[in-house]
Amino acid sequence: MLKRLLAITTLIIIGYWLAQGLAGVPFGQDRMLVGKYYLEHVVEQTGAVNAVTAVVVNYRGFDTLGEVTVLFIASTGVGALLWSRKKRRTARTEGSIVLTTGTRLLAPFVMLFGVYIFIHGHLTPGGGFPGGATIATAFLLLYMAFVTYEIPHRAFEKIEGAVGMTYVIVGLIGLAIGGYFLYDWIWQTWGWGHDNIGRLFSGGFIPIIYTIIGIKVGTELSGIIDNMIKEEVSK
């Protein structure tokens, strides 16, 4: 009991301290410095309408490269930790009728919707990560509905690796063509899609990268699900 009281008092003091700090950063005030530059130049410098996507992929593309690596580490780590020679699904109860028929109907559309999200990343909110996550939910639905369903995890690992490599190769091409790593050579040097801003084929290499991220996140998350669901079968 004493421990909880002690914890609460400590946290209240820490909370008060944080609040005092945050009071110096009043809510809702316009303190943008670099943000203003982005908003003013995003359309003509990157061709993307969605400023957040431009920042994520183009201006701060390095972060996203790191980001994709973090997820890659997560999926490899889970794979490494839960590794065993023979793993098999040991679920016994089949999904209810509603679930199985629903999944049969919905799975393709959920995947399609996921693909839609990351292809239109530079136009509408959301991008590679939410798109990938939606695809992963489709696979999760299949797992829950059918007892025997398994994703081809060897193939998924290969896709993951290949797609990751393409991301880095896109960066290296930028280095070769434009002289800078992750340089948007489609928009800057080749100048494609300058005319149809706001439509699909615009935004430089943002759609390409977001497709890469979408596929990668989709395969990785389903790989994690696959690793966690299966159990070691000692025979």
Partner 1 sequence: MNEILIILFTPLLAGVLAWAFDFRGVREVIGLIGAAVPLAYLVKLYPAVIEKPVDYALTVGGFTLQFQLGTMSWYFAAVASLVGLAMAFGLVATSRSGYDWLFALMSFTGVLGVFLSQDFIGFFLLWELMTFASFMMVLKRNRHESLKYFVLSVIGAYAMLLAIGILYARTGALDFETIRQALIIDVSLGTIGKGETILLFTLFLTAFGVKAGAVPLHVWAPGAYSETDQSYTAFFSGALSKAGVYGILLIYMLMGYKLYAELGTFHGHLTFAYVIAWIGAITVVVASFLAVLQEDIRKLFAYSSVGQVGYILLAFGVGSPLGFAGGLFHVLSHAIFKGLFWLVTAAIILQTGRTRFRDMGGLAEKMPFTFAMGLIAVLSLAGIPPMAGFASKWLIYEAAIQAHMPLVAGAIFLGSGLAFAYVVRFLYGVWFGQRPSELEDVKEAPLPLLLAMTILAIPNLVFGVAPGVVTGYINRILMGDVVGGDYYRLVTQTGTYNALLVSTALVIGLAIAGLVYLYGAKARRVPVTDTYQSGNPVTEEFNLSIRRNFYRPLAEALEFWLRYSWDRFYERLAKLSEDFADALRQAFYNGNVQSYSWYLAIVLLILALWGVL
Partner 2 sequence: MISVYYFGAISLILIGLYAVLVKKNVLKMLIGLSIMETGVNLLLVSIGYISGRSAPILSEGIGPNQAVDPIPQALVLTAIVIGVATTAMALSVAIILYGKYGTLNVEEIRRLRG
Partner 3 sequence: MNGQYASLLIALPLLSAFFVPLIKGLGERGIKYYLAVITALQTGIAAWVFQQVYSTGKPIIVMAGGWKPPVGINLYIGHFAALFVLIVAVVSFFTAVFSIWSMKVQPIDKYAMLFLLLMLGATGMIATGDIFNLFVFMEITAISAYALTAYNKTGEAAEASLKYMILGGIGSSFFLIGVALIYGSLGTLNMAQIAQLAGNMNPTVAQVGLALIVFGLAVEAELFPLNAWAPDAYQAAPHAITVMFSAFVVKAGLYATARLLYLMQAVGSWHDVLKLLVAMATLTVVVAEFAALRQKDVKRMIAYSSISQVGMIAFALALGSQAGVDAGVFHMVNHAVVKALLFLGVGYVGIKLGGTAMENFQGLGKRMPLTAFALTIGSLAAVGIPLFNIFWSKVRILIAGVEAGYTWGVALILGASVVEAVYYLRFIHAMWFAGEGERMREGLAISLILLLLAALVIVIGIYPDYIWSLAQKAGSDIFNVGQYIKNVPLMEVGA
Contact residues: partner 3, CB under 8 A: 17-18, 20-25, 31-38, 58-63, 65-67, 69-70, 72-74, 76-77, 79-81, 83, 85, 157-158, 160-162, 164-165, 167-169, 171-172, 174-175, 178-184, 188
Q: Which residue lies nearer to partner 3 by CB, 67 or 146?
A: 67
Q: How far apart are CA 185 and CA 158, in angstroms?
A: 27
Give exposure, 149-161, as e/b (b: 16+ Cβ within 10 Å). bebebeebbebbe
Q: Which helix or strand (DSSP H or E) is residue 232 part of? A: strand 231-232
3-state secondary structure of 88: strand
**For residue 51, which amino acid is it?**
A
Binding at 13: pick from partner 1, partner 2, partner 3, none (beta carbon under 5-8 Å per type): partner 1
β partners of residue 87: 232
Q: Which residues contact partner 2 by CB under 8 A?
A: 3-4, 7-8, 10-12, 14-15, 18-19, 22-23, 25-30, 32, 34-36, 38-40, 42-43, 49-52, 54-56, 60, 63-64, 66-67, 70-71, 73-75, 77-78, 81-82, 123-125, 127, 129, 198, 224, 227-228
3-state secondary structure of 21: helix
Q: How far apart are CA 65 and CA 175, in angstroms?
A: 15
Binding at 52: pick from partner 2, partner 1, partner 3, none (beta carbon under 5-8 Å per type): partner 2
